Structure 1
Amino acid sequence: MRNTLIFAGSSCPALTAQICSNLGMAPAAVELSQFANGETSVKIMTSIREKDVFVVQSGSSKINDSIMELLILISACKGGSANKITAVLPYFPYSRQSKKKSHRGAITARMLANLLDVAGVKHVITIDLHASQMQGFFRCPVDNLHAEPLIARWIRHNVLNWQEAVCVSKNAGGTKRVTSLADALKLNFGIVTTDKRRGGGNMTASMIMSRLDGYGPEIDLDSDVSKLHIGSGSHTNRHGLKLEVKPLLAEREEEKPEQTSQETTPPRQTHARNDSSQSSPRRSQHGMPSPRRTAHHPNTNPNPPTRSPLHRAQSTPTRSSPIQEEIEFTDERARDITHGRLVHGHIVPDDWPSPTQSALSTSQILERPEEDPMEMSRNSSFFSPEGHALGGTADATATSDEEEEGFNDPTLEQMITLVGDVRNRTVFIVDDMIDKAGSWIAAAECVVKRGGAKKVYCIATHGLFGGDSLEELQDCDCIDTILVTNSFPISPEKARATKKLVILDLSNLLAEAIRRNHYGESISALFTHSHD
């Protein structure tokens, strides 16, 4: 390509060399160095006047140095009178900080977009942004390419019986990405969710019923707690809290015998009785209305036995047995929901002791007046979820990074849920990046140990592999293959040591995007799937 220069940043020289090889050109000469105090120095070794310049730089383990090097290199090209400067970012740094996570948090991805604009960028080419709405952060055009066609093509050529596989999202935030791949391959999809709520001061029905006492010998723990309300009744528990209980069922009306024609009241008497019933009640000598007398049936016991206010009436329908419920159950979709217990990031059996069991007994807890169940119910809702700093619930804003906090806490037990039928099938767990291994291992163990999947592929565009995550994924018996691209540099030593790792090459996709951008051609063809 004439009047075109491609500069390689220090984060991905191998990827840039492959891009230039596909375009039939060599990378432009540039000298990148650092001073003794860590400052970055850039020196361009060729003329760039009135030429289209493409700067290829991705994230790396030294992410801040890579960003400063990119900004300085762009500024140097702008000062050298380049015609147009395009930043090629296979992995966009700070893409996970595209929204506020606290009231005093920063939207760092938007700040980086502003820095690129100030440096002199006129166009941005990237792959699989963490959030597609990040394109609105830029003042210049953004081409957000997708690695999905490459991944789908690899699946068709390398996965046996891929037509029977299931695409699974490991969290609720990645469902759109998973359904897109499932639609491209015409596969079913599922989702794995983790309940990250910790125990707090909120009351539940089981907590209240387990702590209620002192209401009589015939307490029915299955009674409806919503029938209880605080009032000035005569029932008092041992903490001195007065309670008034609404009747659970209305009393049956007595059956009236059929009246003969002789016993029928004349119309005049009926009107008279109605008029008298509508008249004002009699008043006593003190001016207060006297209580109305009620007639009792001769056979009625004037002193009925005292019953517990929570005791159910005999007319309440009895519960069906579990066998009858199983026979009457006809919703096949709910049968595909599988639950599991997650302790320290791993699936445990149902009889595994819970790490959240408190050493205090119920009697010790009730010795504290401030923890009385009825007193707590006045201060907080029975089933209100845990609040979050930005409003709503913690689950609504939870990300994959926040999931790792619960996996590293040995005292926290979580509930993991699999929605979808994966039994005896191959599972593709899909997300945009792999940084930490906790959520991937938990999802893989859930679909294998609880769902009965026979093979698991962990698929992502960006393989960040922070810390020892790649080694942890390699050691997991439930994971068979780890599929990523070379958008983020992976050391050759790690790649050779991990037998499960498969790396797809993005050089052809980026080279074609650069060529079409230089000649002003449409890039819509890069988003289509090839069925070869």
Structure 2
Amino acid sequence: MKRIVLVSGTSNPKLSSDISKILDVPLVDPQVTKFANGETFCEIEQNVRGADVFIIQSTCAPVNDNLMELLIMIDALKRASAASITAVIPHYGYCRQDRKVSPRTPISAKLVSDLITVAGASRVITMDLHSGQVQGFFNIPFDNIYASPVLVGHIKRELVGDNTIFVSPDAGGVERARHYAKKCKCDIAMIDKRRTGKNVAKAMNIVGDVKGKDCIILDDMIDTAGTLIEACNALKENGAKSVVACATHPVFSGPAIERITKSDALSKVLVTNTIPLSKAAIDSGKIISVSVAEILAKSIHRTFNNDSVSSLFL
């Protein structure tokens, strides 16, 4: 008889707990600890022999610690004779390093995919990959699910009005903006930007009419928020009435929270809980988090029952 086991990593315990409650399946604590020299150790205290195991672990900051923890948990479960091991990675770290951008640089996204596969994962479930081609780095089944049903629902209820327009922060995000605009029956615009260095970009032109409009900037993640604030300022300078940002992954590195809090151009930021918010982010008053626990739980349940996952988004 098939048996499902949920294992919670340490990166996002609240999300793991919410998924556990929705599925009515108890969480297994992998007993992750560190030796004095910093090495990670875990011990699965429940019998998983012959079970279909789902490990819930975002590879968010500290990225290397959480990634290593994931690999060690997979190895422990493989050696405990689990029938299958699915790595549920709501936020997939290293995804931006998907190609060589200059000579003698690594393709770290490929390296991480090899590590996860060799560790013993049978399948990967993740959400809103920054680079869709990373799916091709794996030789095991890979499901890239979308946060759009959750975000669109909130946007329709709270943000969409007669003058709403969806804005893509760059050319690569136009398809995302078009998808949201179609669901909400709104127009789209695009910001032409130039990247001048790591985490540094300059907004050059606005493609589309944003004068007098309530703008919603869509992206898959917000890292240092430098690009986001630059985009908000450009929209305001072109006559936008208000600017709200929406992203799946609240990475919020370095000065991100300070930039968001101090920005007069940006009124609100809508994100999901693929990465837990820091106290500073919660206290900022501008950041709203919606839960993706239900859609991840449905994906886990359908995977376990060999049902279609893609039908969740059709």
TM-score interval, normalised by the smaller of the two chains: over 0.9
State the one-letter code of the partner of 2:248: T
CA distance in 1, matches of 2:130, 2:304: 26
State the one-letter code of the partner of 1:468: P
Aligned partner of residue 270 in structure 2, secondary structure: strand
Deviation digits for residues 361-406 of structure 1 (CA, Å, limit 9, x no counterpart): xxxxxxxxxxxxxxxxxxxxxxxxxxxxxxxxxxxxx5xx837446
Larger RCO, structures 1/2 (Cα 8 Å, 6+ apart): 1
Do the aligned partners of 1:447 and 1:453 also contact (CA within 8 Å) in 2? Answer: yes
Deviation digits for residues 83-113 of structure 1 (CA, Å, limit 9, x no counterpart): 0100000001100101111121111011111
Matched, 1:501 2:287: yes
Match of 2:312 in 1: 526
Match of 1:20 in 2: 20
Match of 1:439 in 2: 227
Match of 1:40 in 2: 40
CA distance in 2, matches of 1:47, 1:461: 35
Match of 2:184 in 1: 185
Matched, 1:168 2:167: yes
Do the aligned partners of 2:223 and 2:253 also contact (CA within 8 Å) in 1? Answer: yes
Do the aligned partners of 1:403 and 1:439 also contact (CA within 8 Å) in 2? Answer: no
Task: Write the mapping of 1:97-496 to structure 2, written as runs, cut at 5 A.
Answer: 97-161=97-161, 163-194=162-193, 196=194, 398=195, 402=197, 404-405=199-200, 416-449=204-237, 451-491=238-278, 493-496=279-282
State the one-letter code of the partner of 1:461: T
Match of 1:343 in 2: none
CA distance in 2, matches of 1:524, 1:97: 26
State the one-letter code of the partner of 1:158: E
Aligned partner of residue 72 in structure 1, secondary structure: helix
CA distance in 1, matches of 2:176, 2:167: 10
CA distance in 2, matches of 1:429, 1:460: 8
CA distance in 2, matches of 1:405, 1:156: 32
Do the aligned partners of 2:181 and 2:187 also contact (CA within 8 Å) in 1? Answer: yes
Q: 1:174 to 1:402 in 2, by over 3 A?
A: farther
Q: 1:404 to 1:134 in 2, by over 3 A?
A: closer
CA distance in 2, matches of 1:23, 1:527: 19
* C-alpha displacement of 1:42: 0.7
* C-alpha displacement of 1:169: 1.3
State the one-letter code of the partner of 2:230: A
Consecutive unaligned residues of structure 2, counting only runs of 5 or more, are none
Q: 1:415 to 1:108 in 2, by over 3 A?
A: closer
State the one-letter code of the partner of 1:477: D
Aligned partner of residue 43 in structure 1, secondary structure: coil
* C-alpha displacement of 1:415: 6.7
CA distance in 2, matches of 1:12, 1:74: 17
Do the aligned partners of 1:33 and 1:41 also contact (CA within 8 Å) in 2? Answer: yes
* C-alpha displacement of 1:489: 2.0
Q: Tell me which stretches of 4 or more aligned residues in structure 1 moved more than 4 Å.
A: none
Deviation digits for residues 219-269 of structure 1 (CA, Å, limit 9, x no counterpart): xxxxxxxxxxxxxxxxxxxxxxxxxxxxxxxxxxxxxxxxxxxxxxxxxxx
* C-alpha displacement of 1:502: 0.5
CA distance in 1, matches of 2:153, 2:231: 24
* C-alpha displacement of 1:2: 5.9
* C-alpha displacement of 1:171: 1.7
CA distance in 1, matches of 2:188, 2:41: 49
**Normalising to structure 2: TM-score of the pair?**
0.96
State the one-letter code of the partner of 2:37: N
Deviation digits for residues 146-186 of structure 1 (CA, Å, limit 9, x no counterpart): 1111111111111251x431111112222222222222222
Do the aligned partners of 1:60 and 1:489 also contact (CA within 8 Å) in 2? Answer: no
* C-alpha displacement of 1:23: 0.7
Do the aligned partners of 2:56 and 2:89 also contact (CA within 8 Å) in 1? Answer: yes
Q: Which has the higher strand share?
A: 2
Query: Equivalent pairs: percent with the same residue?
Result: 37
CA distance in 2, matches of 1:458, 1:524: 27
Match of 2:3 in 1: 3
Aligned partner of residue 121 in structure 2, secondary structure: coil
State the one-letter code of the partner of 1:112: V
Q: Which of 1 and 2 has greater Rg? A: 1
Q: 1:42 to 1:495 in 2, by over 3 A?
A: same
Deviation digits for residues 495-515 of structure 1 (CA, Å, limit 9, x no counterpart): 331111010101101111110
